[in-house]
Structure 1
Amino acid sequence: MSMFCYQCQEAAGGKGCTIKGVCGKTADIAKTQDLLIYITKGITIYNIKARELGIANKEADKFIVESLFATITNANFDNENLTERVKNGLQLRREIKEELVKAGAKIESTENTNWVSKLLKFAGIQGKEEEKLHDAAVWMADNADGFKKKAETVGILATENEDVRSLRELLTYGLKGMAAYLHHANNLGYDEEAIHAFMQKALASTLNDSLSGDDLTALVLECGKYGVDVMALLDKANTSTYGNPEITKVNIGVKNNPGILISGHDLKDLEELLKQTEGTGVDIYTHSEMLPAHYYPAFKTYKHFVGNYGNAWWKQDKEFESFNGPILMTTNCIVPPKSSYKDRLYTTGATGFQGVKHIEQGKDGKKDFSQIIEQAKQCKSPVEIENGEIVGGFAHNQVLALADKVVEAVKSGAIKRFFVMAGCDGRMKSRNYYTDFAKALPKDAVILTAGCAKYKYNKLELGDIGGIPRVLDAGQCNDSYSLAVIALKLKEVFGLEDINELPISYNIAWYEQKAVIVLLALLHLGVKNIHLGPTLPAFLSPNVVNVLVENFGIGGITNVEDDIKMFMGE
């Protein structure tokens, strides 16, 4: 096979992509991503030891987060960029190793010579001791042929035992999701040392052949704990910087000015773009997962922040054409662009695509979007593809402000059940299940959503219950944290011992690795009987699936009618 990847829901045949990724990545890109993750794991070996000595390398922390993020599905299709990241990783690994040696040399004057000896051996500078380190910590090459040859040997299938492979990949994909959220928090100046420490411990553990299935399972569940922590950190970063989301009507039509469309998830990029376009005559529109930016008070002060254009990420090949202006991709969810708009597409951060202009961060920590703005001024205004408004902004602070009203509706029987339908949207026709499911729900049911899965039903006329909309959109995929906070608050209000006693069902659509960390976070919080669709992950071996079913009640979906009966206990 030319490659092997099964990290997303669209894995070919429900098993894995072996010739070219359904996402569009080539075999060369897939292999370079495998090599980048391998080198990143090697860096963790050194940085874990450096952290123990109080000399953890912050550049390493950043590199590890960005490498994990760059290999998320639909994030980076630029093989040159990925190869450069591999080169930078090898250089960084060397630098950390040298720091360890220096630390050992400093301590050599103390009486703790045995400890120093161990340190020097760990750093690989005493004869053949380096051979005892994992290959990921010592392998070197300095040319494309060397990289290509190594990449052939370090992919997913290098782990032969199916169950060990499944658990290692489940853990790695959870870490990729964590990295995405930590990246956004870091961009706003928020960080947490414990999250970096866990991520690096967990990554290094995927190289340890002595760990049992139980050991790896424990790490996967621990990953869920840190998943909650990282989403809480990002929630704090977003709300402290831009205010708490509030109920908002978002325009989905267009105006006559030229515009820039911003997609992805990064609010800091949006803030900088809004500041730089103020007074230029260029309007700013959100796309897909950037829709929830409209819910934050800080962004409402910008008069040229006019609305949301289009739908979920997978429709961009058509919607980017009709938008007419430049498009800025701030994170993953890139579809290989058509030639009709490729010259209007820009990437930034961990994202990339061969032949597409990339906006780097300056030494001052800011990004210069002037090139995009100047191009926008020369473009026609967007073609209107729909009009009207959609309502969102039901993050935890806003819903808790309505808690009395919600509780009363539950107590009176006006609301019989909540359905958490968070997660991702995607191209497969089977995902129309979620539109049909939303339409078929009893009128006394309320949908709690976050992520781009909402585009399957957020424009339906589903009405309200006593003024409470039947679709409550908490925001982006990371805002699934809000849904957990709401559930925990309701548990407290109703005086329940177990979160699973609440009238809440979980019917979650997944696509990529951020959905994986959301799932692990929910498991950590004790949520059971979560149903995933449209298919269960290909990276879960039959034995791992059995563990999840037996311990957490994880299930799939069947058809709308039978699933609603099952959820409603009929």
Structure 2
Amino acid sequence: MFCNQCEQTAKGTGCTVSGVCGKKPEVAALQDLVLHAVKGLSLYANEGRKVGVVDQEVNHFTVEALFNTLTNVNFDPERFQILLNRCAELAAQLKEKVARAGGNVAFSDPAASFQPAASLEDLIKQGEAVGMVNDHDADADIQSLQQILVYGLKGISAYADHAKILGQEDDMVYAFIHEAMAALTNKGLGLNDWVGLVLKCGEVNLRVMELLDAGNTGKFGHPVPTEVPLGHKKGKCILVSGHDLQDLANLLEQTEGKGIYVYTHGEMLPTHGYPELKKYKHFYGHYGTAWQNQKKEFAEFPGSILMTTNCIQNPQGYMENIFSTGQVGWPGVVYVKNGDFGPVIERALALPGFAEDEAKGSVMVGFARNTVMSVAGKVIEGVKNGDIKHFFLVAGCDGAKPGRNYYTEFVEKAPKDTVILTLACGKFRFFDKKLGDIGGIPRLLDIGQCNDAYSAIQIAVALANAFECGVNDLPLSMVLSWYEQKAVAILLTLLHLGIKDIRLGPSLPAFISPNVLDVLVKNFDIKPITTPDQDLAAILKQ
């Protein structure tokens, strides 16, 4: 196997024996084969659009399949076998439709004629044979750009899957994914072509995050400032992790009146700010911290656990208590379909729950764009009169790799006349810090989940308009942490928007070649983090 798609990849170059995430070589091979098969499917989908053939089932399958290959989503070989068989069926059906419409279906790339082997063992061998989806014979810089593109597409697909569940879709998103995957078969594309596709990926991701934002806020309301307990109540309990608001809403509805308290974990923390979710009285508080601590935290949780999207780890020790839904899979974990969480509820009622109430303080959430812009006048006044000297967006993924204490120290050392905006699970390094306020405005503002980077962008654009300047001219600095492919998609969005002077860590992606990195540094002034003291000094002297 070879996998270099996450920040924690072995030795900073790539996992070759087994994934640091827990991915086995056979799963890595099956994921490579899924990408290969989707590349073939995309050839027909891309050609189909030229002759008016658009297949919604193919669109949906494509984002679901790519989402399954994202870090910490699906580790179940049997689920990949189902995906591969379905991909071949859809490709054959689409090929026939495109041919009838007069489109080209004569493709020489092996992906176009992919046929899955009958057994799981032989599928794994097929995956080992095709390897990673990029062109292995291409120049190193082109291979790097191809990998950046594919990892960005995985992030887009995750967000697009969430959005379509809420009824928010745009065919231009599916069209670009198919165009980009099909482009991987084109050996005639040059460096500039791949740079263009990579930046277009960022543009499309902005649209996807807009769709997801519309889905979340349209159905559950705009987040409002909400105090979230970090302790627990005596009684039966269910813990919800991942990102999906619809799954949480379904669970809250199905548990109402059953004497079960529902708690959030990880990136689900911001859901407490949504009016249509917080109205449930048994939706109580937040348990635990970020995804990488779940083995200890989940083992100690006295109720059932529901994983709604990515971030699952090996559940050894509490296998009987954890359930998955959506794209999440782990061998032996019960998979719940169609939003029916009866098995999760039944298990929660069978477990002891918390023996007594416990108070452990609280944190505030709900500072998405509507909330922040409702006090825009006070923010602008604070900047103009010198009370607020600088804004820091300290955001992104958390992880287990050493060096992430940088973000805790950075926030702790940020001067008291600065404001910290944060989102995604990286905030768990400092989310419970009491930083005070500036003129009634909290110094720590939790904007939401990773996809709420859309809210952060809208806040920055609104402030730039208010000050009649560009976003890069604002007293705003971005200090980001990354772990997986959704973070790649968000970074590409920031580059598409021309955002410069981003500090990125704790280490730079292994899939970025030295020459590509040089281009990013020269054009966007991307730089690796150093130390909190050095970076704060450099930023604040500007």
Q: If the length of structure 1 is used for normalisation, what is the TM-score?
A: 0.92
Q: What is aligned with 1:270? A: 248
Aligned with 2:541: secondary structure? coil
Equivalent of residue 356 in structure 1, options 330, 333, 337: 333
Q: What is aligned with 2:153? A: 175
Aligned equivalents of 1:377, 1:297: Cα separation in 2? 27
Aligned with 2:527: secondary structure? coil
Contact kept? 1:529, 1:553, Cα under 8 Å: yes
Q: What is aligned with 2:293? A: 315
Q: What is aligned with 1:326? A: 304
- Give 1:101 shift: 3.1
- Give 1:102 shift: 3.3
Q: Work out the percentage of aligned pairs sharing the same amino acid.
A: 46
Contact kept? 2:135, 2:184, Cα under 8 Å: no
Mapping 1:530-541, distance limit 5 Å? 530-541=502-513
Letter in 2 for 1:350: Q
Would you say 1:562 and 2:537 are equivalent positions? no
Letter in 2 for 1:347: S
Contact kept? 2:229, 2:359, Cα under 8 Å: no
Structure 2 gap segments, 5+ residues each:
none
Would you say 1:135 and 2:107 are equivalent positions? no
Aligned equivalents of 2:85, 2:503: Cα separation in 1? 41
Aligned equivalents of 2:131, 2:243: Cα separation in 1? 28
Aligned with 2:537: secondary structure? helix
1:5-47 alpha-carbon deviations (Å, 9 max, x no partner) = 0000001111010100000000100110000011011101111
Q: What is aligned with 1:502? A: 474
Equivalent of residue 400 in structure 1, options 373, 377, 394: 373
Contact kept? 2:249, 2:277, Cα under 8 Å: yes
Aligned with 1:82: secondary structure? helix
Would you say 1:6 and 2:4 are equivalent positions? yes
Mapping 1:83-482, distance limit 5 Å? 83-103=81-101, 116=102, 119=103, 122-124=104-106, 132-144=107-119, 145-156=121-132, 159-160=136-137, 161-339=139-317, 341-361=318-338, 367-382=339-354, 387-482=360-455
**Matched residue count:** 538
Letter in 2 for 1:568: L
- Give 1:385 shift: 8.0
Equivalent of residue 56 in structure 1, options 49, 54, 57: 54
1:510-550 alpha-carbon deviations (Å, 9 max, x no partner) = 00001111111111112101111000000101011011011
Aligned equivalents of 1:154, 1:393: Cα separation in 2? 45
Equivalent of residue 39 in structure 1, options 27, 34, 37: 37
1:297-349 alpha-carbon deviations (Å, 9 max, x no partner) = 0012111101111101111101111111111000000111122x111111111
1:475-514 alpha-carbon deviations (Å, 9 max, x no partner) = 0000011111000001000011x21100001110100001
Would you say 1:523 and 2:495 are equivalent positions? yes
Aligned equivalents of 2:216, 2:70: Cα separation in 1? 22
Aligned with 2:161: secondary structure? helix
Aligned with 1:430: secondary structure? coil
Q: What is aligned with 1:70? A: 68
- Give 1:279 shift: 0.8
Aligned equivalents of 2:116, 2:176: Cα separation in 1? 29
Distance 1:85 1:385, change over 3 A: farther
Structure 1 gap segments, 5+ residues each:
104-115, 125-131, 362-366
Letter in 2 for 1:58: Q
- Give 1:388 shift: 1.2
Contact kept? 2:29, 2:125, Cα under 8 Å: no
Q: What is aligned with 2:79? A: 81
Aligned equivalents of 2:173, 2:115: Cα separation in 1? 28
Contact kept? 1:322, 1:382, Cα under 8 Å: no
Aligned equivalents of 1:176, 1:203: Cα separation in 2? 11
- Give 1:158 shift: 5.4
Letter in 1 for 2:149: L
- Give 1:163 shift: 1.1
Distance 1:385 1:39, change over 3 A: farther
Aligned equivalents of 2:220, 2:24: Cα separation in 1? 39
Q: If the length of structure 2 is used for normalisation, what is the TM-score?
A: 0.97
Aligned equivalents of 2:309, 2:379: Cα separation in 1? 35
Contact kept? 1:451, 1:475, Cα under 8 Å: yes
- Give 1:386 shift: 6.5
Aligned equivalents of 2:462, 2:335: Cα separation in 1? 43
